[in-house]
Chains A and B, each alone.
Chain A
Amino acid sequence: MTNVPIEGILLPNEKHNHESPTSWKEYFSFSTDHKVIGIQYLVTSFFFFLIGGIFAMVMRGELMTPESDLVDRTVYNGMFTMHGTVMLFLWTFPSLVGFANYLVPLMIGARDMAFPRLNAVAFWMVPVVGIIMMGSFFVPGGPAQAGWWSYPPVSLQNPTGNLINGQVLWLLAVAISGVSSIMGAVNFVTTIVKMRAPGMGFFKMPLFVWAVFSAQIIQLFGLPALTAGAVMLLLDLTAGTAFFDPAKGGNPVMFEHYFWFYSHPAVYVIILPIFGIFSEIFPVYSRKPLFGYKVVAVSSILIAVVSGIVWVHHMYVSGTPSWMRLIFMLTTMFVSVPTGIKVFAWVATIWGGKLRLNTPMLFALGGLIMFVFAGITGIMLSSVPVDVHVNNTYFVVGHFHYVLYGTVTMGLYAAIYHWFPKMTGRMYSESWGKIHFWLAFIGTNLNFLPMHPLGLQGMLRRVASYAPEYQFWNIIASLGGFLLGMSTLPFIFNMVISWMQGEKAPANPWRAIGLEWMVSSPPPVENFEETPIIISEPYGYGKSEPLTANLSE
């Protein structure tokens, strides 16, 4: 058996292959290859990200002036509802599932997902969800307007009296998206539990796989609650039942419970894979082993478990009794413990490392900085007195945009740049990448930081017009928003040009450790010619231990 040196790895089975997808047509066909499906997810979700971004641009345009003068109020309501829904259900969820699809089988040494056809079906539901959701703009009465959380009794209003209206289409789309996610979750959990390469115990799995595993467990046990609530709301809206309609004796707060029992943990479904991405990226670009690997791995599961008992912090002002608010305040604050462990581990990994500030590292560092900020405002919001004061204001909007743009989208960009050579077999342009990073980083802070003072001063969210004293910060936020919108242009340019005519990528351009870097770029259809055997822990940067062994050796 040959020992493989960690620095300057050139792994045994690097070779060019002609079996990997070569034509763009493959990406438009019904494929069961997890790598094709992964890229299909990524491209589709990025398309919806642009649509969600256009909605955001319209809103920021409207908010440049205190008056409601740019768009009709119905359109504005539809815009913020769809912006939220599209960004969650059609951008962050599916793009992370895309990465998970692409990477998990490679990272665990499997040939494909456990159920390749189910995988393809789950993907093809995503465009269907998008079409139904966008269709909501074209039915009588206009799009769904009740916000992404769709609280009754507002979401139960149906002034046109039509059976098919924007809200019904919205609920259908959410339900289909849920079915697709459950299919995905069953597939991921089975793949990770049953298909790891020999020698890869749970504590030899890469942290991205740990993160996906934890996130998918949340999907399995949280999503059904949302589905239950959505079905009941749909019945209220179409069949005349009385579950959430106070006029008929129903209880609208029950919907909030169903909704948040899933939708709060859903935040961790999105952020855990991002944590996984950070954990993959920091060691590579710092040339150091990840600090506290096992603790970081376990903290993912801990976050998944605790996430199930914090949902009521969204409902402090929904008539929740004080004793219950206290319990949920404490559990919410407890989430910061496993999360803090991760942050410390990353900082300790970077600390004293030999940093390479490539685009992926820049995005990961930027994302980490903004995540720390989001974490601080998050702890503030978990505290009942603060939350009661700023509830439903722009402070909350600022907080979760630091999470969802500052951390999640920045983390996604980091991942796209990091694995771009692997996925396409081409290198991206580093200089365009850096331009993209700085525009996005400045844009994000300019856009979302002013929302905090606005919220503390009392500006409500979801309004098209506001008192004139809020205008100054709104102009800054809008300018930041436009900058952020513009930042996607160098990204798209870079991706398209590099994919077409970028420099050919070697199997392992970052000299990273991990099974996905041991196969050619892009990987062959069957991933591994021979099943790899895992004999060392991941992240052994700077250690001279054998990495894996091949059967043939």
Chain B
Amino acid sequence: MDSYINLDELHHAAAEHTHDEEGNKMFGFIVFLLSESVIFLSFFAGYAIYKTTTPNWLPVGVSGLEVKEPAINTVILVASSFVIYLAERALQRHDLVKFRLFLLTTMAMGTYFLVGQAIEWNGLDFGFTTGVFGGTFYLLTGFHGLHVFTGILLQSIILVRSFIPGNYDTGHFGVNATSLFWHFVDVIWIILFILIYVWQ
């Protein structure tokens, strides 16, 4: 136990102890993302174990996955992480026009990724119920795709809100959280890409 207690310091702290709501929200959101990453981790671990222990991993007639288009998709998605960062920076400078422009670019890149994935799914010669391989493939890419879709949804919300006067004058929790979510989705995709497409 401390032998001296500086009461002045504590009084000062108590005066400062207001509700830091923005800080709480951001902290809570990070905690949520950590928890979310464990779901992905569970699926990843499952995929790795299934891949290494299942006899006849690839279904009959399936030789493997095409890597080229998904690789292009990966580049687009990772690049979009930088674009949303630029949007965030623009907002900090109160440059709403650039903020919206970069945000729209991010959304376009995200949509490109989703459409690319839809085209890939459409061309595959195995389905969700084709053994464990099909199941895990569609589960992982589908669950990630759902996150990309959610990210685009969040981006459209902050875009619309940027047109409400005075909305982004003080706190930017919505923007920071959306941006963080997008980086998270990107990092998950990089692991997923290596796990499914590179490690065949």
Within B113-138, which residues are at the interface with A (CB < 8 Å)? 128-129, 131-132, 134-136
From B57, which residue of chain A is reached at the shortest CB distance? Answer: A249
From known contacts A115-B28, A220-B31, infer whether A242 and B7 are also in contact, taking CB-CB under 8 Å: no
Task: Say whether B112 faces chain A, with CB atoms less than 8 Å apart.
Answer: no
Contact of A551 among B11, B23, B132 (CB under 8 A): B11
Chain A residues lying within 8 Å of B17, measured Cβ to Cβ, are 197-198, 531
Interface residues of B (CB under 8 A from A): 1, 5, 7, 10-11, 13-17, 19-20, 23-25, 27-28, 31-32, 34-36, 38-39, 41-43, 46, 49-50, 53-54, 56, 128-129, 131-132, 134-136, 139
Chain A residues lying within 8 Å of B11, measured Cβ to Cβ, are 533, 551
Interface residues of A (CB under 8 A from B): 1, 111, 114-115, 182, 185-187, 189-190, 193-195, 197-199, 220-225, 227-229, 232, 235, 239-243, 248-251, 254, 258, 261, 531, 533, 535-537, 549, 551
In the bound assembly, the distance between CA atoms of A229 and B53 in angstroms comes to: 18
From known contacts A190-B31, A198-B14, A235-B139, infer whether A248 and B7 are also in contact, taking CB-CB under 8 Å: no
Contact of A228 among B5, B43, B54 (CB under 8 A): B43
Contact of A243 among B14, B35, B39, B135 (CB under 8 A): B135
Q: Are A193 and B27 in contact (CB under 8 A)?
A: yes
From A549, which residue of chain B is reached at the shortest CB distance? Answer: B7
Q: Are B129 and A239 in contact (CB under 8 A)?
A: yes
Q: Are B14 and A221 in contact (CB under 8 A)?
A: no
**Would you mind naming 11 contact pairs between A and B with Cβ atoms under 8 Å apart?**
A111-B19, A115-B28, A182-B35, A194-B23, A232-B46, A241-B135, A241-B139, A531-B17, A533-B10, A533-B13, A536-B1
Q: Are A241 and B129 in contact (CB under 8 A)?
A: yes
In the bound assembly, the distance between CA atoms of A235 and B20 in angstroms comes to: 42
Chain B residues lying within 8 Å of A535, measured Cβ to Cβ, are 5, 7, 10
Contact of B53 among A197, A199, A223, A251 (CB under 8 A): A251
Chain A residues lying within 8 Å of B23, measured Cβ to Cβ, are 194
In the bound assembly, the distance between CA atoms of A232 and B39 in angstroms comes to: 12
Chain A residues lying within 8 Å of B14, measured Cβ to Cβ, are 197-198, 531, 533, 551
From known contacts A235-B139, A241-B128, A249-B54, infer whether A194 and B42 are also in contact, taking CB-CB under 8 Å: no
From known contacts A240-B129, A241-B129, infer whether A194 and B24 are also in contact, taking CB-CB under 8 Å: yes
In the bound assembly, the distance between CA atoms of A79 and B19 in angstroms comes to: 47
Q: Are B32 and A182 in contact (CB under 8 A)?
A: yes
Chain B residues lying within 8 Å of A115, measured Cβ to Cβ, are 24-25, 28
Could you list 18 further interchain pairs (A-B, Cβ under 8 angstroms) beyond the known A232-B135, A531-B17? A114-B24, A185-B35, A186-B28, A186-B35, A189-B28, A190-B24, A190-B28, A195-B24, A197-B14, A198-B16, A199-B10, A199-B13, A241-B129, A243-B132, A243-B135, A251-B54, A258-B46, A533-B7
